[in-house]
Structure 1
């Protein structure tokens, strides 16, 4: 392995001079720094970051802690964050919790031991008390979900309004039996999306029993499949349904295709998220669009500023981005045969 001594011997300076040059010490001239860096590059020198961290240097690693990388929302966020971080000399590290609070804790312990510069986290429903303590010691912000124990820096979507608009679209078309498939109420996103669904029913003058809910793991495609089967087998099967997560939407579409359900002739569907295939699935899926790039850029800029300025105290910061309703051909009035023009 190439060491600083090898570089020193290559250009005829002391080992301490090489170390200071690589650390951009102002006591070393720019000419010497240039010679050291060129020699380091030619020899293939890789700095020992662990040793520098033991001397108090900070890491250049930012962690993204998410429930499920298979969810395209999170994978796209990771891609955008990685580009933003790399442009400023930071590296993104990914940790996946599967919405397990103990897995979340294990990841945070490891990240803390490696002195990551910052953390962007989509928290589980009930973070462990030790997870809360670990995050207090590192610059961090919450993404999409907001748990009060983890501070007041949060970037999210207006989940209530997104699902209210999606459901109101179906109500305006004349649907009176509408089902909602979403995550559990213990998740803040699940609670807000369910509230938006119920708000639209109430504003549309529909009784409480006009809406049926199927709540379960939001990252489970299987839950989406099984919920659709239960809904279609019920004697009071809905004429429309709206989804509250990307993975549930995938399960819904798979099961509807498997059963040969005509959309929107037999059932109107509003999805969540806008996967590349949603625009050409069946008649084209009407769905809730998510401001992924806007959120990723906002998260990156906030955290980079925090890492560079190192304020003594972080004040509350909240950024709420609106979703959008993308109208395609999967919704129509009950018994309708084509896409509706209703907004």
Structure 2
């Protein structure tokens, strides 16, 4: 069985340096840390986690709060976070809130009761004033979600600009009545998307009527319902901006079994660039988020806060997005000039 001395010898470093890495202590360069991590992997060395936790009073566990893991975006996000956290010797537990204010607060109690060292919030349904007191118990970082008055690090993309660009694209294809199909509680993120969407419509002089606002669509089955609602009650709608590729896929699937053609009769934009967006016929125009980069930065920022309490100033990290143009919105002959 390998020992800490074996790890030090293979890594070419001192036993003290290896111990610092195992115990997540500062003053070790990233290059040395990676050498030690690799040596432990090569030797199959497993530190005595129970003893280490007792000494450090740490759980070496991070809680990630998200609405539902069945959403492919959050599934990919949590997978990337888990991989990054493991490089630092941390575990990740997934806490599904299902957009419940109570569940969100209940999971934050894990921080207060010292069952986790830190919390990553990939969604937010409570007011910031209800979340802020938990900072007294440990660090909290927003990933994907963000809020103007929150005094914590935030890692996200510009959802307002992304939604604006998607709406402009639909308008430039000739769409005159564009529905907004999203769902879940109105978060700051959702508000920013809606604002960007409405700014595009206003810029192009297009009205946004009540029937164009669909606020309950979150998955494939909801997307199917959206299509039937449009066909039966609002057939003049010729474009849809959706909050996820799941909704877009359900909508396109139902259209394919009717006399509606996508994009000739109904252009559709998704969000998140999930695998389903490529598998659909037609393929789905969508917004791509840099999931892995955001996940890696979020874990890094949180762990740095754990290693250097009070030394990391709240900062916003905004990552670029990309509008991927595919067949669900191909250019129309009647495009706006």
Q: TM-score range by the shorter chain?
A: 0.7 to 0.9
Which stretch has the larger CA shift, 279-288 or 158-167?
279-288
Contact 2:66 2:96 in 1 (8 A): yes
Q: Deviations over 1:13-65 (max 9, x none)?
A: xxxxxxxx9x959xxxxxxxxxxxx9xx99x998473x765665212111111
Q: Secondary structure at the match of 2:212?
A: strand
Structure 2: distance between partners of 1:24 and 1:300 = 22
Matched length:
300
Aligned residues of 1:63 and 1:92 also touching (Cα < 8 A): yes
Deviation for aligned residue 1:97: 0.9
Q: CA RMSD in A?
A: 3.3
CA displacement 1:292-323 (0-9 Å, x = unmatched): 11211211221222222x23254221111222
Looking at structure 2, the residues matched to 164 and 70 of structure 1 have their Cα atoms a distance apart, in angstroms, of: 27
Distance 1:167-1:296 versus aligned 2 partners, 3 A rule: same
Aligned mates of 2:245, 2:186 — CA distance in 1: 18
2:138 corresponding residue in structure 1: 138
Matched, 1:298 2:311: no
Q: Is 1:240–2:270 an aligned residue pair?
A: no
- Call closer, same or farther: CA 1:333–1:52 in 2, change over 3 Å: closer
- Written as runs of structure 1 = structure 2, the 5 A alignment for 1:209-288 is 209=209, 212-216=212-216, 219-259=218-258, 261-288=260-287
1:172 is displaced (CA, Å) by 1.2
Q: CA deviation at 1:176?
A: 1.0
Name the residue aligned to 2:5.
none
SS at match of 1:79: helix
Q: Which residue of 2 aligns with 1:152?
A: 152
**1:269–1:285: 8 Å Cα contact kept in structure 2?**
yes
Unaligned runs of 5+ in 1: 1-20, 26-37
Cα distance in 2 between the residues matched to 1:184 and 1:74? 15
CA contact (8 A) 2:156 2:294 kept: yes
Confirm or deny: 8 A CA contact 2:63 2:95 kept in the other structure: yes
Name the counterpart of 1:95: 95
8 Å CA contact retained: 1:178, 1:211: no
Query: What TM-score comes out, normalization by structure 2 length?
Result: 0.77
Unaligned runs of 5+ in 2: 1-15, 21-39
Matched residue SS, 2:194: helix
The aligned counterpart of 1:325 is 323
